[in-house]
Every structure is written in structure tokens, then in C-alpha cells.
């Protein structure tokens, strides 16, 4: 059985769409970036901490992830308010940024982990577009203050890398990790 160490409805939807059965078990890990901690190290550390914090049985595979957005070396996490979301959207408009997701899979005392990196380019945004989108509430629980699968889709002009990573879980990487960990040989007999 796969244990998803995440409350994210987007991660859950992606696993369902991919046909990967799971149960949800979450342990509260504070998402605080260390001073000077590189963004890649940050998301990888959080994914590993989340996976380690979730209780599991010996035959279970624990999957955890953490996503953030980086523009010009500045980390954009989840906005604290509509004003904070608008600030982030101003930083993204007309520019490229990176979506980083740290992923960790734990099973039988072993750990597989890595970071998926996707480049995204936004169209230039007017102040009216920024304020209107921030007012929808959609940005509020999203790293970088946008949902590519939602109303922000109209702002995205280019993607290089895994689309699902931007949604919150690099499905192909997760599938490869599960295969490497022997999940499919155990699950399929």
C-alpha cells in the first residue's frame, strides 16, 4: 500500500488519475526554510522530513513531496494574503520561473528522493489581471500564488519539463521511484 504523506487535493487527484492506489496519512512538519538554504535542498529536505514523520507498516511505501516556486533566486511559497499573492504575481508576470518539487519515497528502511525542476514562462500581466486573479482566492494555497490547472492557465506561455510537477507532483518521477523500490513487483505479484 502507498501512504501519501500530503493533504494536497492536487497530489491526490494526480495519483488517482495515474491509477495509483493510496491512503492519506499526514504528520505536521513546519515548512520553514533555513537561512541561506538553497531552494532545491529546501524542498528535498521537507519531502524527506514529511516521509520520515508518517507512521507506516513494514509493507507500506510512504510518498511525500514539497513544491515551491523560484524566480531570480527568490523563493515564492504559499501567499499569506491576497496582497501577498498579488506581489508574487507581479514578480512572475512577463518572466520565467522554476517550479521545484522535492519527492521522497520510503520503504523497508530505504529511501529514494530527488527534485523535479520545471521552467515556466508567464505572459506580461496588467495590474488589473493580477488583482482580479488574486481576488478569486485560487492563489491562496498554491506555491507561487497560482494554479496552472485553474484560472492561471491563461497566463502560461511556455513550459519546459513536467507539467504535473507544476500542479504539485511529478507523476513520471514518482512512478519511476515506485518501480525502482519494487512496489509494482510486490503489488502485481
- pLDDT tens readout for residues 22-79: 999 997 888 889 889 999 999 999 999 999 999 999 999 999 999 999 999 999 999 9
DSSP type of residue 149: T
CB 76 within 8 A of CB 88: yes
State the pTM of this model. 0.93
Residue 66 annotated in active site: yes
- Residue 173's CB: how many other CB atoms inside 10 A? 20
How far apart, in whole angstroms, are the C-alpha atoms of residue 93 and residue 87? 10
Between 8-17, 76-85, 176-185, the lowest mean confidence (pLDDT) is in 176-185
The percentage of the chain sitting over the pLDDT mark of 70, rounded to a whole number, equals 97
> Catalytic pick from 41, 59, 66, 83?
66
Choose which CATH entry (3.40.50.200, 3.50.50.60, 3.90.950.10, 3.10.129.10) describes domain 2-187.
3.90.950.10
In the chain, the N- to C-terminal Cα span, in Å, equals: 13
Residue 1 DSSP SS3: coil
DSSP secondary structure string for all residues of 62-80: EEEEEEEEEETTEEE-S-S
Q: What pLDDT is recorded for position 28?
A: 85
Q: Reduce the DSSP state of residue 129 to 3 states and report it.
A: helix
Q: Are 107 and 116 contacting, i.e. CB atoms less than 8 angstroms apart?
A: no
State the pLDDT at residue 31: 87
**Based on the number of CB atoms within 10 Å of its own CB, is 134 exposed (0-12), middle (13-18) or buried (19 or more)?**
buried
Amino acid at each position: 500500500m502507498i501512504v501519501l504523506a500530503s493533504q494536497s487535493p492536487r497530489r491526490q487527484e494526480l495519483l488517482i488519475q495515474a491509477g495509483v492506489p493510496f491512503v492519506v496519512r499526514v504528520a505536521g512538519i513546519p515548512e520553514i526554510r533555513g537561512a541561506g538554504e538553497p531552494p532545491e535542498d529546501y524542498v528535498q529536505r521537507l519531502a524527506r522530513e514529511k516521509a520520515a514523520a508518517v507512521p507506516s507498516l513494514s509493507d507500506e511505501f510512504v510518498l511525500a513531496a514539497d513544491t515551491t516556486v523560484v524566480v531570480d533566486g527568490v523563493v515564492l511559497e504559499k501567499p499569506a494574503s491576497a496582497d501577498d499573492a498579488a506581489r508574487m504575481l507581479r514578480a512572475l508576470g512577463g518572466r520565467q520561473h522554476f517550479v521545484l518539487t522535492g519527492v521522497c519515497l520510503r520503504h523497508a528502511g530505504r529511501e529514494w528522493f530527488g527534485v523535479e525542476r520545471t521552467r515556466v514562462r508567464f505572459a506580461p500581466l496588467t495590474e488589473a489581471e493580477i488583482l482580479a486573479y488574486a481576488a478569486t482566492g485560487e492563489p491562496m494555497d498554491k506555491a507561487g500564488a497560482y494554479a496552472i490547472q485553474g484560472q492561471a492557465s491563461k497566463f502560461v506561455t511556455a513550459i519546459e519539463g513536467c507539467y504535473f510537477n507544476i500542479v504539485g507532483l511529478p507523476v513520471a518521477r514518482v512512478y519511476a521511484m515506485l518501480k525502482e523500490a519494487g512496489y509494482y513487483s510486490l503489488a502485481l505479484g
